[in-house]
Amino acid sequence: MNKVLITGAGTGFGHEAAMRLAVKGFHVTATVEIWAQVQTLKRQAAERGVTLHVEKLDVTNEGDRKKALGWDIEILVNNAGVLEGGSVLDIPGENMRNQFEVNVIGPLLLTQGIAKQMVKRGTGRIVWVSSREGLNTNPFTGIYSASKHAVEAIAETMSLELQEFGIEVATVNPGPFLTGFNDRGFETWKSWEDDPSERLFDYSKLAFPRAQFNPEPVYVTLTAVAAGEIDTYRNLEPKSMLEETKHLIEAPWNKKIKDGLGTRPASLQHSFEMKPETPMPE
């Protein structure tokens, strides 16, 4: 398998994975959401001395999704995504719907067509860039987390449904990494069409609640999973958060509904204390 499609390759994980897969000799179709990003990505690839086939592909656009069916894709990396930060009780409905359209529905509709092409060939690989938030939850990222929980359900089901056809499915689950993605998500409240006086929280005082890691481990893992060099289904980074993640998955089984009532959780308070773009100490 040589022909790779990576969505959301204009920035972050998808951008770097596209470059690295091209260096490895893959034929990479790197897609971006808007036309303005096309020439920028072409220039960046040229500066790094790699060859990318750059296309505009907004996963929520039916015409763009149909266009992708003509590219004979053998490896699909569903990386495109957005983060809508804010309380689940404050985020407007339009923003919720957009979160799911971009993170869940659009990528799944794209995958439906490409996966059926893979089935006809009897080979293929589908990589879902999920999140640690697809396994856990945190204050102010609940809608994003819900979308990634949906991705987890879709990917795991897809791995079962495509098994007999020889199609590989994997997930990559990044934790908090400093790419700008998390901090941008905590700025989206500025364009909400709502009544600010009705909000539970003052978002001008909040920031992404955790220090963030250098993204290099995700670049390495995502590239290797897409290339078929790693064969594990679920791939969480950083690996140092693996035990914490598993513990938090188990925690709701022991939680009592009155635990902590009337107090602010420490995980929520962190958003008031953290500064944007705080790196994890070396």
Q: How confident is the model at residue 36 (pLDDT cuts 50, 70, 90)?
A: very high
Return the closest-CA partner of residue 114 out of 101, 134, 100, 128.
128
Q: Residues 62-70: what's their mean pLDDT?
A: 98
What pLDDT score was predicted for residue 176? 98
Return the closest-CA partner of residue 269 out of 207, 186, 190, 185.
207
What pLDDT score was predicted for residue 195? 98
What pLDDT score was predicted for residue 69? 98
d(CA 178, CA 239): 16
**CA-angle at 79, arms to 11 and 43, nearest 5°:** 35
What pLDDT score was predicted for residue 50? 96
Mean pLDDT, the chain, whole residue set: 97
What pLDDT score was predicted for residue 268? 97
What's 105-126 look like in SS3? Answer: HHHHHHHHHHHHHHHHHCCEEE
pLDDT higher than threshold 90 for residue 282? no
Catalytic residue set:
144
Query: Which residue has 């993204």 as its token pair?
Result: 215
Give the tens place of pLDDT for each residue, 132-182.
999 999 999 999 999 999 999 999 999 999 999 999 999 999 999 999 999
Give the tens place of pLDDT for each residue, 94-111.
999 999 999 999 999 999
Give the tens place of pLDDT for each residue, 234-280.
999 999 999 999 999 999 999 999 999 999 999 999 999 999 999 99
What pLDDT score was predicted for residue 225? 98
